[in-house]
Structure 1
Amino acid sequence: MISTDDIFLLAEGDKAAFETAALELFRFQAEACPPYREYLDRIGVRREAVASLRQIPFLPIELFKSHKVYCCAEPPEAVFTSSATTGMIPSRHPMRSLTLYEQAFRGAFRAFYGDPSRWSLYALLPNYLRRKGSSLVYMADRLIADCGSGGFYLDDYDALLRDMARDPKPKILLGVSYALWDLAERYAPKLNNTIVMETGGMKGYREEIPKEEFHRILCDAFGVEAIHSEYGMAELTSQAYSQGGNRFRCPAWMRAVCRDVNDPFEGLPAGQRGGLNIIDLANRWSCAFIQTQDVGHVDTDGSFVVEGRVDHAEIRGCNLLVQ
């Protein structure tokens, strides 16, 4: 099986090498990951019959809430959990190696933003900081250290704006959506030499509005031309980034594909709207093939747009294992 180091050496656009690595990882996880193995059995897919990337089934992301999606005999170094509103069950993602996770997020950041030391990273992640097990907080903490400047801010917007104004370096303001909206409404600060990057929905704190409208509100308030976005989740090891327009691009070891929301086993061609599936080869010790609950489309160049969420009534795959 392809080594961990080789995963991060995959060349951008090398489809043949990506498919070879994905098939090798599929054959391993189809045997070694119990929930994935059981899921394949229930949908009638034999591991040895899968001969191409398009034949690999994707595990419904809901199973991270009800099953231990893990395929290593040794205990994980950490267990990352998803944020969950009251009454919801969080997902749990056992992370065998924090070094692997750090390789993934550092590699993705460098691919899209270059050397972290040229940036200051300011993190406005209040709901994530108030709980344990956030992979986003872990990532931001290490990237802040790599940058050498910046920091976490809970609700102290005055200190955040004061520190950013004094900082001569190019800056990234990484914030959960509702906190950025709150900052925009209360202060409308015009930010200089700063990238504003949002990382997720309103988490039940604010109303959900179309992404284009939300980004326009932030652009007007902060005086920036575009809003960047980070696409990540507890169930993934890697992140995709949008540098404007809600169009995400993946690092070389990650890929998005589209499926029919009414038939999760039917793939869709480029440009058609459907459910988003993610292949994350850095999910080496869990499952690399994830059927998400996001809706969007994937273009011919591999970039993808997130348009919303799949209605729970339309998700057919997950009930095969959820008891």
Structure 2
Amino acid sequence: MSLTPDADNTATPDEGLSWELIYPKTTTAIFSLAVSNVILSSMGCAGNIFIMVIISKWSNISSGAAFMFSLALADFLSGFYDGFVDELLPLLGLSLDLVNSSLCAICTFMNRLTTIASFWITALFSVDKCFAVIFPYRYRVWGKPKVCVVATLTVYILNAALTVPDLFVLGVDNEYSGMCHAVKFDILSRYLYFELRTPIIILFGAGLPTATVVICALVTLIKIRLDQRKRSDQSGTSKQRNSPRARLDAEITRQMIVVCFLFGVIMVTSSAIIRVNHGSEPKTAGDEAKYTLLDRINSVLTSMINAANFYLYLIFGKKFRNDFKRLFQKQNGE
């Protein structure tokens, strides 16, 4: 992406002006993206709260339903930070990550931790339902909520280890831009942070969960198609397949497939942005404008991932939709 100062602005990046003054149209675009992100995040936070409330009322749930709850919590945390801490507060004139270098490092660490955790829990959700479809009898034994609890805790611990370098490298760049960037290299060198860590973040934080989600969704879809053909000539296990638990698992599987394919499409785009944006240091006003614009685009994409699940569940889940309606029917009845 190439940015040039607006024609009606005679200032150049060398005159010491901030990039907001040099690129006013880019600043306007970034503002619009920030407002969109706040709206998406608000919708996502509300939707994820509804998901957790609805699933908490289910009885005899499988690990798949538990992963839906865990994913809703991760999406809520990620959406809350991206939409309110990272976008709304700056729109109101307060940027926590620019208060000092410590908050810069902590805020960025929490942002990446919650975002990557959301990606990996989506991947685990897809693995869970893939296992359920391929090994249905074993899944009835092993598909328990405690599996989700252990897997979720493991995800957060590993992701914390992956993102902990941010705590030692990031700070407010007081010499040039005043922005939150990698500025301290006394513990971790520039080469290790930019040349080695960036590919690792892309691979483990985006590439692997995306590949896992897409592969599991495809395998699950193919297995479902094959099973449907076999069932057309068999009816011996119809009673078992028509049990409430079996119907709920089948509904969750459909929801997972839709969620995973949307996740895959968005993540391919997001990964490309991450590769461009975090592979080098912003050194000029144009670099800073480009970095901020791409970062806001990526935030909107992440917010779409965090916000979409609730609405997909409503569209593709009959039980979920009915349970959502009952929430308001009970309130009206009271």
Bin of the TM-score, shorter chain as denominator length: under 0.3
Q: Which has the larger radius of gyration?
A: 2
Structure with more relative contact order (C-alpha pairs < 8 Å, separation 6 or more):
2
More helix by share: 2
TM-score, normalising length: structure 2: 0.24
**TM-score of the superposition, structure 1-length normalised?**
0.25
